[in-house]
Amino acid sequence: MADTPKVNLTIEGRPISVPPGTNLIEAAKQAGVLIPHYCYHPGLPVAGVCRMCLVEVEKAPKLAPACATAVAEGQVVHVHSEKARDARKGVLEMLLINHPLDCPICDQSGECELQDYTYQEGRADSRYREPKRFNPVEDFGGDVLYVPNRCILCTRCVRFMGDVAHDEVLNVSERGDRAFIGKFEGKDLTHAWAANVVDLCPVGALLSKDFLNKARAWELDRTASVCTGCSQGCNIIVETRDNVVMRFRPRSNESVNQFFMCDEGRLGYREFNRPTRLEVPSILGPKGHEAVDWDVALEAAARLLRGKRAYVVASPDTSNETLHLLGRLMRKSNGVGLYRVPQGPEAPLPGAPDLALRVDRAANGRGAEALGFTRSDTPFSGLKAGDALILVDQDVTGADLAAVGQASAVIVLASWMPAGLPRAEVVLPIATTVEEEGTLTNLRGRVQRFMQAKAAPGLARPSWFVASDLLGATGESAAYFTAGDVFAAMSAAHEAFAGLSYDTLGMRGLPIAGAMAGATA
Amino acid sequence: MGYPHKPHPRETVVLSEHFGAAEARSLDGWKTRGGYQALQQALGMEPTAIQQVVKDSGLRGRGGAGFPTGLKWSFMKLGDGKPHYLCCNADESEPGTFKDREIMRWTPHALIEGCAIGAYAIGAEDCYIYIRGEFTEPLEVMERACAEARAAGVTGPNAMGSGKTVNVWVHKGAGAYICGEETALMNSLEGKRGNPRIKPPFPAVAGLFGMPTTINNVETLAAVPHILNKGAEWYKKLSRPDNPKSTGTKLWSVCGNITRPGNYEVQMGFPFGEFLQDLCGGAPNGRKIKAVIPGGSSVPIITWEEAESALMDYEGMVAANTMLGSAGCIVIDDAQSMPKVIARLARFYAHESCAQCTQCREGTAWTTKILERIVAGDGTAEDFDTLLSIADNMTGKTICVLSDSCATPVVSGLQRWKHEFEALITRTTIHAVPALVG
C-alpha cells in the first residue's frame, strides 16, 4: 500500500494526500472539511444534480461540483470562499421556494440536511412571492411514505432502487419544477431492502410509516449495535426514547453492510419492546414459581447442577461472552451444548458485495460453533435421563420438547418465559441484546461489538453476568466485572478469538482466526 | 409567396441549392445532382486525411457552440478496438431555428452522405440521426431516403462497394428540447430519460453506450460532402476573407416580425443590417425593428442599433454582444412588449428544464412566475434585483446550459429595455403573499 501513488492537494488551506480518482467531497472529509451536499452519497453512483457541493478550484473557470470532480495534483480548493458560499446560498434558496417549511410537523426535523445547511449558511428570509407548488402525499408501498412538497429531487432513492437494489421502482416523473419522484406503473417499494430510501433521503420527503409521528429526532438516544435478525451482522444504531426502542437504523461498515440494512432487520426492533418480560429470578416451590433473590436462585440452580451432566441449549443470538461461560459449565461436567437456527428465505442486496438477509436468522451461529456448540434442528433429542438442562432461549416453538421430561432439572436463562416449555425449576431473567454489552460473530467470522442501549427491566441482569455468577455458584472461579473481562478470558482460552480484544475490535469488528478477512461471495 | 422562396441574388446557395426540388429527395435525383461522389471518394481515403480536409476548411459546428468540426473528429482515438459512434443531432428545437428541418425535408441524401463520411472519418460503423419528435415530415423523408440508400448499397455492410461498413440509422425523439443537448441525446438514444450527463467524461471518451462518440449538427454534416467535392480552399473562399475563423456559408432561419420569413443561406460575415432589411424585407406594415435575437432563443437579445452594423459570423455576433448560436433569428418590432416576449421565452425554458439541477428546475419556473406577474401588472421594483440575482445563480453552475439559456434573455432584456418593465410596475410595495394553492 505504501507504494500506491498519492495525489497532493490543498483543501481550505489544509494539505492532504489521497489516492488518485478520489472525489473532492471524500478528499475533503479526510482533510476534516465537510463540503455541503445532497445528492452525493458514498454508497450510490454520482449524479451531480443538487449543485450544493460547488466549490472554487483555483485556475478553474467555473465552480466545480465536488462530487463529480476528481482530485488533481497541486489543486487548491476553496470550500468557504465567497463565490462558493454565494452559489450554495442560491441553491438553498431555490430548494426552499417550493418547500412547505413545515419543520414543526416533519419527522425529519432535527436530522434534516436541508434544515442544517439552511441554518448554517442559507438566507434568513425568502424573496419568493409566488404560490408554492403542491402535490399530495403518496404511499410508496412497503414502509415508505412520499411527501413530494418536501422533496429536493436529489434522486438518491431512484439511484438506490435502480443501481443498488436492482429493482426499478422509482423514477423522476415530469420536468421542470413540476418534477416529482414517481413510481413505475404497478410497482411498489416491496423490495426486501427498500426502506433504505428513507435513510438515504436527506430531507423529510421519504418517511417510514412505522416511525411516522412517533418521536422527534432530538429526543432519541443513539447506541451502536449489531442487528440480530440474521447471520449477516449488519451494523446498526439502536434509537431509544424513555427506555423504549423506537427504531433501528443502519450504521455504515464497509466490510459488512455498506450503509444499509434490510427491512426485516429494521422492523426487528419491535421484538425488544414486547411486554411480559421476566423481571425477577424464581424457583419452583410447592406452590408453583416463587420470586426469590438472585443469590437464592443461583444457589438453587447450582445445587440442581451438582453431579449432573450439563445439557445446554442456547439461542444462537446469545453473545460470544455468554456462550464462552456456558461452555465452561458444560465442559466441567462433560456436558454438551447445542443450538437451533431458525431459517427464512434469503434476500440479497445485489448492488452491494456479499450483503443479504441470510437464510440463517440468527446472529451468532458462527460464534457458537467456534465456542464448541453443535448445531442441531432437534437440540433436545439427545437429553439423557438425569441430565440438567440449561435453556438460554426465549423461543422454543416448534422444538422437540418431548425429551425435556427426562431432564433432572430445567434451568432457564431468558428475557421472556419460553412459551410451551413444560417445566422449569429455576428461572433467571436476563437482559436482551439491546440491554447488554457483548460481541457477535457473523457468518464471515467477523466479531463485532454491541453496546447497551437501554436498561433491563426489574432485576434482569446481563446474560454474561448471570452465566458468570452461575459458574461461580458451582465453585468455579469466575470473577468478571465487565463483558470486556469475559471477552479477554475467552480470547485467552479459544484459539479462534486469540489476539482480539474490545480495544482492537473497535466499532467495525475484526475477523476471527481462520475466517477469510473481508470475504466476498 | 411560395415556400421555400426563390433565393435572393445575394444569397450563396450551397446547402440550400436544391431546396424545393422534390426530385432531389430520391437517390437517383440526388445522384444526378452529383450526390455520393464525395462518399465514394471518402471511402477510398484514410480517415485522418478526411479529418485534415475538414480541418483545413475551417468548418465549425452549426448547432450553436461553433466548435471546429475537424478538430472534434480528431479527438476520436482510431484503432482503439472499441466501437465508435457518430450521432447526428437533428433534434432541432431551439425556438426560432428551422434550418435543419429544411435540409432533411429537401435534401435527405445530403445529410446521409455527410453522416456516412463523418462516421467513416471517426472510425464509426454506425451513425444515428436523432430527429426531433415533432418533425413528422422530415422523419418520413429521412426514413425513406435511409432505406433507399441502404437498399442500393450506398450505406450498409459494403458501402458503395468499398468493403467498409457504414450504417446510417434514423431515430425519432419524443419531443423534448433538452434532448438536443448532446449527452441528453445519447441518454435518450439509449432508451433512458433525456437528462444531460456530467462532463467529464466527454463523449469522445465515453459517449453513446459508453463508447467513443462524436455528435454533429445536421447542417455541419450536410456541408461535409461539398467540402470533399470542391476542396477546403473553395469552402474557405465562400466567406469573407477578412475573417478566416468563420468560413463557408450559413443557413439562417428568420421569423417573427419580418416581411419575408424563411431560410436564407448567406456567406459567413454577411452584413446583418442589410440582410434583415434587403433580403428579408425588414419589419412588416411600416414598423421598425426594435430587437433581434440572432441565434435562437438562448442568445442575448440585441437592439436594432446593435444588430444593424453586425456581421453574420461567429466573431461578428460576439462583437455585437450576442452569439451566432444556431442562427435562428427572431425579429421583434416596435409594436411588441419586450417583457411579454421575455416572459414567453422564460416559460419555454421552465417547461423544458429536465429537472436535474436545482438552479434550473426551480430558477426557470421562478423567473417565469415573476415575469408573468410583471406582465400582468402585479410587479414591484424589487423584482428586477431578484430576477438578476436568480439569473446569476442560474449561470455557469449547472450540468448543461439550459439554465444559462433562460437567464440570457432575461439579463440582456433587462439591460436594454428596463424602461418597458418599469412602465408595467404600478405598485410601490410588495403585495400580499398568495395563499398556498391546491
Set of cell numbers at residue A48: 451531480
Q: Find out whether B80 and B237 touch, Cβ atoms under 8 Å.
A: no
Residues from chain A that touch B354, judged by Cβ atoms under 8 A, are 175
Q: Do B355 and A174 touch (CB under 8 A)?
A: yes
Alpha carbon distance A359, A369 (integer Å): 17
The count of other CB atoms within 10 Å of the CB of residue A276 is 7
Nearest CA in chain A to B396: A62
Class of CATH domain B240-333: alpha beta
Residue at a domain's end among A91, A119, A138? A91
**Which residues 232-261 on chain A approach chain B with CB closer than 8 angstroms?**
none
Residue from A38, A130, A135 to probe the interface with B (highest B Cβ count within 10 Å): A130
- The shortest CB-CB distance from B355 to any of A48, A91, A172 is to A172
Q: Is the pLDDT of residue B171 over 50?
A: yes
Q: Find out whether B248 and B14 touch, Cβ atoms under 8 Å.
A: yes
Nearest CA in chain B to A179: B355
pLDDT of residue A466: 98
- How big, in percent rounded to 5, are the helix, strand and coil portions of chain B? 45, 15, 40
**Which residues 145-164 on chain A approach chain B with CB closer than 8 angstroms?**
152-153, 155
Q: Is residue A154 domain-resident?
A: no
Counting the structural domains of chain A, the total is 2
Mean pLDDT of the region B37-43: 97
**Which residues 45-74 on chain A approach chain B with CB closer than 8 angstroms?**
46-52, 54, 62-63, 65, 68
Residues from chain A that touch B352, judged by Cβ atoms under 8 A, are 175-176
* Residue-range definition of the domain harbouring residue A365: 282-511
- Residue A428, H or E segment: strand A426-429
- Write down the ipTM of this complex: 0.92
Beta sheet of B124-131, edge-to-edge order: B167-172, B124-131, B84-90, B213-217
> What confidence tens digit (pLDDT) does each residue in B229-246 have?
999 999 999 999 999 999
Q: Is residue A148 domain-resident?
A: no
Residues from chain B that touch A102, judged by Cβ atoms under 8 A, are none
Beta strand segments in B145-248, E: 167-172, 213-217
Q: Do B359 and A94 touch (CB under 8 A)?
A: yes
Mean pLDDT of the region B325-346: 96
- Matching residue, cell 456462550: A323
Residue from A127, A137, A180, A184 to probe the interface with B (highest B Cβ count within 10 Å): A127
A/B interface, count of CB pairs below 8 Å: 107
Those residues of chain B whose CB sits closer than 8 Å to some CB in chain A are 176, 178, 193, 198, 350-359, 361-366, 369-370, 373, 382, 386, 389, 392-393, 396-399, 430-431, 433-438
Q: Do A128 and B366 touch (CB under 8 A)?
A: yes
Q: Which residues contact A312 (CB under 8 A, 6 or more apart)?
A: A326, A327, A329, A330, A335, A336, A337, A338, A373, A389, A390, A392
Residues from chain A that touch B361, judged by Cβ atoms under 8 A, are 94, 153, 176-177, 179
Q: Do A90 and B176 touch (CB under 8 A)?
A: no
Residue at a domain's end among A42, A73, A91? A91
Residue of higher predicted confidence among B285 and B4? B285
Residue from B93, B193, B352, B357 to probe the interface with A (highest A Cβ count within 10 Å): B357
Alpha carbon distance B397, B358 (integer Å): 10
Q: Do A48 and B393 touch (CB under 8 A)?
A: no
Q: Do A153 and B355 touch (CB under 8 A)?
A: yes
Q: Is residue A137 domain-resident?
A: no
Q: Do A177 and B435 touch (CB under 8 A)?
A: no
Alpha carbon distance A436, A238 (integer Å): 12
Q: What is the CATH number of the domain that holds A373?
A: 3.40.50.740
Å from B389 to nearest chain A CA? Answer: 9
- The shortest CB-CB distance from A134 to any of B359, B434, B438 is to B438
> Which pTM value belongs to this model?
0.94
Set of cell numbers at residue A108: 425529519
Q: Do B396 and A62 touch (CB under 8 A)?
A: yes
Residues from chain A that touch B389, judged by Cβ atoms under 8 A, are 90, 127
Q: Is residue A178 domain-resident?
A: no
Q: Do B361 and A127 touch (CB under 8 A)?
A: no
Å from A153 to nearest chain B CA? Answer: 7
- The shortest CB-CB distance from B397 to any of A87, A153, A171 is to A87
Q: Do B397 and A50 touch (CB under 8 A)?
A: no
List the one residue out of B115, B128, B121 whose CA is nearest residue B186.
B128
Q: Is residue A242 domain-resident?
A: no
Q: Do A176 and B176 touch (CB under 8 A)?
A: no
Residues from chain A that touch B386, judged by Cβ atoms under 8 A, are 127
From residue B206, alpha-carbon distances to B72, B82, B209 in Å are: 14, 10, 8
CATH homologous superfamily of B22-237: NADH-ubiquinone oxidoreductase 51kDa subunit (3.40.50.11540)
Residues from chain A that touch B433, judged by Cβ atoms under 8 A, are 129
Name the amino acid, one letter, at B221. L
pLDDT of residue B436: 55
Residues from chain B that touch A134, judged by Cβ atoms under 8 A, are 436-438
Identify the burial level of A105 via C-beta atoms within 10 angstroms of its C-beta, where 0-12 means exposed, 13-18 middle and 19 or more buried. exposed
Nearest CA in chain A to B369: A130
Cβ density class B161-191: b for 16+ within 10 Å, e for less: eeebebbbbbbbbeebbbbbbbbbbbbbbee
Å from B243 to nearest chain A CA? Answer: 27
Nearest CA in chain B to A54: B397
Nearest CA in chain B to A101: B436
Residues from chain A that touch B374, judged by Cβ atoms under 8 A, are none
> What confidence tens digit (pLDDT) does each residue in B173-208 have?
998 999 999 999 999 999 999 999 999 999 999 999
Q: Is the peptide bond before B201 cis (omega within 30 degrees of 0)?
A: yes
Q: What is the CATH number of the domain that holds A19?
A: 3.10.20.740
Identify the burial level of A332 via C-beta atoms within 10 angstroms of its C-beta, where 0-12 means exposed, 13-18 middle and 19 or more buried. middle
Residue at a domain's end among A45, A73, A91? A91
Class of CATH domain B338-424: mainly alpha
Q: Is residue A482 domain-resident?
A: yes
From residue B138, alpha-carbon distances to A359, B95, B104, B133, B172 in Å are: 58, 18, 5, 10, 10
Å from B80 to nearest chain A CA? Answer: 23
Nearest CA in chain B to A64: B397
Q: Do B437 and A87 touch (CB under 8 A)?
A: no
Q: Do B366 and A97 touch (CB under 8 A)?
A: yes
Q: Is the pLDDT of residue B434 over 90?
A: no
Residue ranges covered by each domain of chain B: 22-237, 240-333, 338-424
Alpha carbon distance A29, A42 (integer Å): 12
Q: Is the pLDDT of residue B438 over 70?
A: no
Residues from chain B that touch A128, judged by Cβ atoms under 8 A, are 366
Segments of chain A scoring below 70 in pLDDT: 1-3, 516-521
- The shortest CB-CB distance from A97 to any of B354, B357, B362 is to B362
- The shortest CB-CB distance from B369 to any of A94, A130, A175 is to A130
Task: Using a CB–CB cutoff of 8 Å, tell me whether A270 touches chain B.
Answer: no
Q: Do B366 and A65 touch (CB under 8 A)?
A: no
Nearest CA in chain A to B403: A176
Task: Using a CB–CB cutoff of 8 Å, tell me whether A87 touches chain B.
Answer: yes
Residue from B205, B358, B433 to probe the interface with A (highest A Cβ count within 10 Å): B358
